[in-house]
A = this chain, B = another copy of it.
Amino acid sequence: MSNLARIYPHDRVTLREVGLRDGLQLVRKWPDTDEKQQWLTREHAAGVRHFEIGSFLPAKSFPQFADIGEMISAVAALGDAHSAALALNERGLDDAMQTAVGEIVCVISATEDHSQANMRRSRADAIELVRKAASLRDAHAPDKIINAGIAMAFGCSISGDVEPGEVIRLAEACLEAGADVVGLADTVGYAGPHQVGAMSKAMARLCGERPFSIHLHDTRGMGIANAAAALDNGARVLDGSLGGLGGCPFAPGATGNVVFEDLVFLCETMGFATGIDLSALKQARAIAEHSMPDEAFYGALAKAGPPANLKWSA
């Protein structure tokens, strides 16, 4: 079996917990390395295997990710877990190649306006970074997975509506540039389930047996409904963050990523076994809540617990 098919088996659902990366991107206070590692190990004990744990960015600007090397080692030490981290420029790529990180995530904007405003580069340049990542990987670290995440894929806070065909063309360009996995992100929570379902179907057609991922934000309450639509239309890799940590850079005070705990429950109701123990996940949440007392933690499952008397409950 190829490394890709081993990490993302296409016959089951993979849930990526991105709280340690996307969840910490906007916070003013973050857990120290020891607390992050407790968060990680408790989630691992609950059955989580995929962790996005940081970004390769200058520690001066993003001190919450200064311990990225230690976090990668902590995931590697778990033996059966997979780490992913963002690399947003060549410097980040070079740094990533020096580590044991399992997956390098490059980011492309779906719209030229957002690409210029957010990244100060064109979409074409962003795709060239994916090509660079794949070529470095081929030369130095053949086991690493290259993931190209398309931000604003369902609507853009600058450009508004995003043409689905354009997103698919960008996804195709990322694959052609050497990406193993393409992800679509509803960065600002504009999407509804019909839109996510249609895009997932188009991605499934484009990618075949290759994985593609769907990264949803719950900014307008559609997170779980959109995840259900994605699963119903062939998506098998979904992101979520513990307690819905993450916020929205364009809507201060808004809810963040789709809530990981509720996402697990959703999958179980839909017949996708996650291998994740919802009760055990509460211990990871307790660590995160304790280390960030000023952050809002979301999610209904954490308040109510799983139904005690249903036959499928985890």
The residues of A with any CB-CB pair to B shorter than 8 Å are 155, 157, 159-161, 188-195, 218-225, 227-229, 232, 248, 251, 253-255, 259, 261-262, 265-266, 268-271, 299-301, 303-307, 309-311
Interface of A is mostly: loop
- Among all A-B residue pairs, the 3 with the closest Cβ atoms: A192-B269, A221-B262, A160-B309
How far in angstroms is the closest Cβ of chain B from A114? 12
Chain B positions within 8 Å of A219 at CB level: 300, 304
Contacts of A309 in B (CB 8 A): 157, 159-161
**Which B residues are in CB contact (< 8 Å) with A255?**
300, 303-304
Is A266 within 8 A of B225, CB to CB? yes
CB distance from A47 to the nearest CB of B (A): 18
CB-defined contacts of A261 to chain B, threshold 8 Å: 221
The residues of B that contact A159 with a CB separation of less than 8 Å are 309
Q: A225-B224, A225-B228, A259-B221 are in contact. Are A195 and B304 (CB under 8 A)?
A: no
Instruction: Give the shortest distance, in Å, between A260 (CB) and chain B (any CB).
Output: 11
Q: How far is the CB of A314 from chain B (nearest CB, A)?
A: 12
B265-A306 in contact (CB<8A) = no
A271 proximity list for chain B (CB < 8 A): 194
State A268–B191 Cα separation when bound (angstroms).
11
A266-B300 in contact given A155-B307, A224-B221 (Cβ < 8 Å): no
Q: Bound state CA distance, A190 and B311, in angstroms?
A: 11
> In chain B, what residue has the closest Cβ to A300?
B221
* CB-defined contacts of A188 to chain B, threshold 8 Å: 307
Partner of A220 from the list B195, B218, B229, B304 (CB cut-off 8 Å) is B304
CB distance from A302 to the nearest CB of B (A): 9
| Minimum distance in angstroms from A243 CB to a CB of chain B | 12
Which listed residue, B225, B254, B303, touches A304 by the CB 8 Å rule? B254
What are some 25 contacts across the A-B interface (CB < 8 A)?
A160-B307, A160-B309, A160-B310, A160-B311, A161-B309, A190-B307, A191-B269, A192-B266, A192-B269, A193-B270, A194-B270, A218-B300, A219-B300, A219-B304, A220-B262, A220-B304, A220-B307, A221-B224, A221-B259, A221-B262, A222-B265, A222-B300, A228-B228, A255-B300, A255-B304
